[in-house]
Chain A
Amino acid sequence: MYVAVKGGEAAIANAHRLMADRRRGDRSVPALRLDQIVEQLALGVDRVMSEGSLYDRELAALAVVQARGDMIEAIFLVRAYRTTLPRFGYTNPVDTGAMQIERRVSATYKDLPGGQVLGPTFDYTHRLLDPELAAGADVEMPAQRPVEAEPMPRVSAILAHEGLIEADGEMPLDHVHGDITREPLQFPMARDIRLQALSRGDEGFLLALGYSTQRGYARNHPFVGEVRIGEVELELDVPELPFAAPLGSIRVTECQMVNQFKGSAKAPPQFTRGYGLVFGQSERKAMAMALCDRALRASELGEDVVAAAQDEEFVISHSDNVQATGFVEHLKLPHYVDFQAELGLVRRMRAEYEARENEDKAAEEKREAAE
């Protein structure tokens, strides 16, 4: 027999009304505008776009406000929204070599064409809280240096000349590009599909795994060959135009990780590579993605799979924070019937256990009395 228990509609409606009130907070404080969030919480917006896997600043800002600043809830909202839209197609692959550079650093070469360009970075700040910012002090305009524009080739292209580094990752000619938004995950998976999953993966999860490789769990001797941040052009091939339709530009962060590799039965000693490419300005995420990408290539390069970061099924199955939060958080929803069943089972097992204990005790006493 199954008895459905209904109820809670009024409680739910009032709870959501209360949540909306608490979200708005003190009415004497001005409400946040989306453009304030886009402009002044830009890296939070970037994270929501990256892990929500949808590039749209205003939507990401709306999600941040709606979620009261809960990033994973905001990411969830963006993911849900994108399922409501039709898909026009796949863009042509972006050319990160032609990026309008806003930051570009290399830890492997001091002097490289284009140079080390720091851009708007937290690096070298003292991480001291700034009371002037709290007081809303005026901020000076940035310095300008009017110099000739110079090309900034990717560092991987410079290194390639000596033949001591892997080429950019190619797939077999007959490879069909996978898309995790269209087909369920299957293991083992090709590197292109893995990269798609990593690019939308949870920053904290990938950061922890990347860190674990540095601490010795699948050590692979990484150097940052290059991190670059800037805008790249998007183009879409459409049947109604005789050329690729220009869509505008998006900001991305790219990380080329270079890893020393002593060689194996499958590959000679050389520098191998891990790659990271994410929406927005997020070099922590791009670097963590590149570390994980390299670790996950263990089988391809003939390395022993000994650590969590090298385990494709473990990493990719748990990198999506929308899936993770859904499964963890569903535990708080009513499980009354499941729990009643479990309670009945545990009561019965406990009764059997106690009956056995009593029997054993009685037998023991009987034996002692006999002696």
Chain B
Amino acid sequence: MRGQEAREQAGRKAVMATLAHTAADEIVRLWSESGLPSEAELLRGPETGLVTVRGRIGGGGAPFNVGEATVTRATVRLPSGQIGHSYALGRDKGKAKLAAIADALWQDPAQREAVETKLVAPLRAALDAARETRRVETAATKVDFFTMVRGED
């Protein structure tokens, strides 16, 4: 049961992370293609606020405040009763509402599969591809040192 619950939470968090990383228009486009319901009652927000970003002294020491970032969040309730939340960097209120609905739908066993396959899987594939492109572009700038032999012996 413990392992099951942990897996469940990890899956839900991964969906939230994917939506948080994706631009609003991409989510809107896929949502309209997916046929997922978008009817929900707003319980909170969408509202924009700040989070204070923390780092660690020396990279791994005591925490300190680096600065702030804009974050938008929303909480919704589906007609079927599930409650969903969303948090993401930026100020897009439409995205916050859709992401909260996605979180609520994901918690409905009847809808989870559709959310995963029609919305999250393609978004995750696009994010992974973009990340991989950046990685190999960066890797091309890695220095290969070589030794110059000088003198006779």
User: Residues on A close to B: CB < 8 A?
Assistant: 49-50, 53-56, 58-59, 82, 85-94, 96-97, 100-103, 110-111, 115-120, 142-147, 149, 154, 156-157, 166-171, 175, 177, 179-181, 191-193, 195-196, 199-200, 233-234, 236, 238, 240-250, 252, 254, 256, 273, 275, 277-279
Contact = CB atoms under 8 A, between A and B. Distances in A.
A234 B89 contact: yes
Interface of B: 9-10, 12-13, 16-17, 20-21, 47-71, 73, 75, 85, 87-91, 131, 133-143, 145
Contacts of B55: 93-94, 96, 195, 252, 277
Contact of B138 (A90, A97, A101, A170): A101
B69 A56 contact: yes
Given A168-B56, A175-B62, A246-B17, A88 B73 contact: yes
Given A115-B143, A245-B85, A142 B137 contact: yes
Given A102-B134, A246-B20, A177 B9 contact: no
8 contacts: A88-B50, A93-B63, A149-B135, A191-B57, A243-B9, A247-B88, A249-B89, A250-B89
Given A234-B69, A234-B89, A86 B50 contact: yes
Nearest to A153: B59
A89 B87 CA distance: 12
A234 B139 CA distance: 24
Given A243-B13, A275-B59, A144 B140 contact: yes
A169 B60 CA distance: 8
A90 B52 contact: yes
A278 B143 contact: no
Contacts of B88: 247-248
A325 B75 CA distance: 41
A116 B144 CA distance: 8
**Residue in A56, A179, A243 with the greatest tally of chain B CB atoms within 10 Å:** A56
A240 B134 CA distance: 34
B53 A234 contact: yes
Nearest to B61: A168
A195 B68 CA distance: 14
Nearest to B92: A58
B126 to A, nearest CB: 15
A168 B137 contact: no
A112 to B, nearest CB: 11
Contacts of B73: 88
Contact of A143 (B64, B135, B137): B137
Contact of A92 (B12, B17, B54): B54
Nearest to B73: A88
B51 A97 contact: no
B48 A85 contact: yes
**Residue in A93, A101, A146 with the greatest tally of chain B CB atoms within 10 Å:** A93
Given A100-B135, A240-B85, A256-B59, A199 B67 contact: yes
Contacts of B63: 93, 177, 192
**Residue in B10, B52, B53 with the greatest tally of chain A CB atoms within 10 Å:** B53
Nearest to A150: B139
Contacts of A247: 20, 51, 69, 71, 87-89
A247 B13 CA distance: 10
A219 B137 CA distance: 38
A85 B61 contact: no
Contact of A93 (B54, B68, B135): B54
A278 B64 CA distance: 12
B64 A195 contact: yes
**Residue in A82, A116, A246, A256 with the greatest tally of chain B CB atoms within 10 Å:** A246
Given A245-B16, A246-B20, A247-B89, 8 more contacts: A50-B67, A85-B70, A87-B51, A87-B52, A117-B142, A145-B142, A233-B17, A250-B53
A105 B115 CA distance: 41
A11 B49 CA distance: 36
B49 A86 contact: yes
Contacts of B133: 144
B70 A55 contact: yes
